[in-house]
């Protein structure tokens, strides 16, 4: 995919097996994570023998057991798994006492501070370059997602307030991730969509604070406010390469970018830290289509590829990406979100054949 090099943290020679935690979560997560599992299994001996462990998390589990993220799940991920795949999570429209998002909690507890979301269009001719080829680098642990909210009574009635947290440490880490990624994408000028005081200043200072000084001289920095960035994204998507943003803005930008390539059902991501990576499709739990067998498995399958790439298995990841691209180009097996009528398992089978 678009990442090429720059995010790997594990030597391919380091493992004889690969233990992968599977967290389907809620809704269509139970339909698309099995597809990603099958894609990994289809790679055969080109990766260490995969071992899968099913783990609990999500609102559906909370409704049954009273906890959204069991401590057992966290400990198995920390102590036994090499990586993981997360499906989707329901977001209740109203406050539910005792419930908080398990994916947000996992990002914090596993210190998965970088959410990497490549958005790439598939050119009709395999030899042509895609019209859209960008990566959103989203800070994953702070901003409004710390969920620090209060309600008080004021002169105008009830007042709801939310605390937004931005720190130098988190901004520096995500900035370095973006610069490393940009340095290894030998294609065009790089756009760093940086906003809001401390985040902006800290990311801008990264080239001066990382040895050797001058390492990032090839990376050009440009700034835009989030609203104008989204506008320009739709008008001139080809000018964007790497976009780095705080948590909330990164979420908005990447969801908007998905519209450029046809569907959220195509967009993968990884949640990455210094020693652990978890693949996660960008789409949500899609309760309106849950159980109908029409969920698009491509984002989850691509997330598995992105996870493998980060672990150092680039050739195997490329096999998955090529298979996905072939199915999209041929156009015969596409789910309804892409204008087709194929079922989830039909798309999966066609991708598996090409892997």
Q: What are phi and psi of 17, to 5 degrees?
A: -145, 165
* Mean pLDDT to the nearest integer, 273-296: 96
CATH (residue range 1-112+273-355):
3.40.718.10
Quick: pLDDT tens for 80-114: 999 999 999 998 878 889 999 999 999 999 999 99
| pLDDT at position 44 over 90 | yes
Per-range mean pLDDT, top range of 10-19, 89-98, 182-191, 317-326? 317-326
Quick: pLDDT tens for 150-184: 889 988 899 988 888 888 898 889 998 998 888 88
Q: Does residue 77 contact residue 110 with C-beta atoms inside 8 Å?
A: yes
Residues of the chain with CATH 3.40.718.10: 1-112+273-355, 113-270
Q: Considering just the CA atoms, what is the radius of gyration of the chain in Å?
A: 20
Secondary-structure class of domain 113-270 per CATH: alpha beta
The SS3 of residue 161 is: strand
Q: Does residue 237 contact residue 134 with C-beta atoms inside 8 Å?
A: yes
* Mean pLDDT to the nearest integer, 258-275: 93
Query: Residue 194: pLDDT band by 50, 70, 90 thresholds?
Result: very low
Which of 143, 145, 137, 130 lies closest to 184 in space, CA to CA? Answer: 137
Per-residue confidence (pLDDT) for residue 340, from 0 to 100: 97
């Amino acid at each position: 995919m678009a990442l090429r090099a720059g995010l790997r943290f594990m030597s391919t020679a380091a493992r004889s097996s690969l233990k992968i935690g599977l967290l389907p979560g809620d809704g269509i997560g139970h339909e698309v994570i099995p597809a990603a599992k099958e894609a990994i299994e289809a790679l055969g001996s080109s990766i260490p023998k995969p071992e899968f462990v099913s783990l609990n998390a999500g609102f559906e589990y909370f409704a049954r057991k009273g906890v959204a993220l069991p401590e057992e799940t966290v400990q198995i991920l920390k102590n036994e798994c090499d990586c993981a795949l997360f499906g989707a999570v329901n977001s209740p429209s109203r406050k539910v006492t005792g419930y908080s998002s398990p994916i947000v909690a996992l990002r914090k507890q596993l210190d998965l501070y970088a959410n990497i979301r490549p958005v790439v269009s598939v050119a009709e001719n395999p030899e042509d370059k895609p019209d859209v080829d960008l990566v959103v680098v989203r800070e994953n642990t702070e901003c409004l997602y710390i969920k620090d909210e209060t309600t008080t009574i004021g002169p105008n009635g009830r007042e709801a307030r939310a605390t937004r947290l931005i720190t130098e440490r988190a901004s520096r880490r995500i900035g370095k991730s973006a610069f490393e990624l940009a340095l290894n994408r030998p294609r065009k000028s790089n756009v760093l969509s940086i906003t809001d005081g401390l985040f902006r200043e800290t990311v801008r200072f990264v080239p001066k604070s990382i040895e050797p000084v001058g390492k990032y001289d090839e990376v050009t920095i440009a700034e835009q406010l989030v609203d104008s960035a989204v506008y320009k994204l739709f008008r001139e998507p080809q000018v964007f390469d790497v976009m780095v943003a705080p948590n909330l803005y990164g979420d908005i930008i990447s969801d908007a970018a998905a519209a450029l390539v046809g569907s959220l059902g195509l967009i993968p991501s990884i949640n990455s830290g210094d020693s652990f990576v978890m693949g996660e499709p960008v789409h949500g739990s899609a309760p309106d289509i849950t159980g109908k067998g029409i969920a698009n498995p491509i984002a989850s399958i691509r997330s598995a590829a992105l996870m493998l790439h980060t672990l150092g298995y680039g050739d195997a990841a490329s096999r998955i990406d090529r298979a996905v691209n072939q199915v999209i180009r041929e156009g015969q097996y596409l789910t309804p979100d892409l204008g087709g009528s194929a079922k989830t398992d039909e798309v999966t089978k066609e991708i598996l054949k090409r892997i």
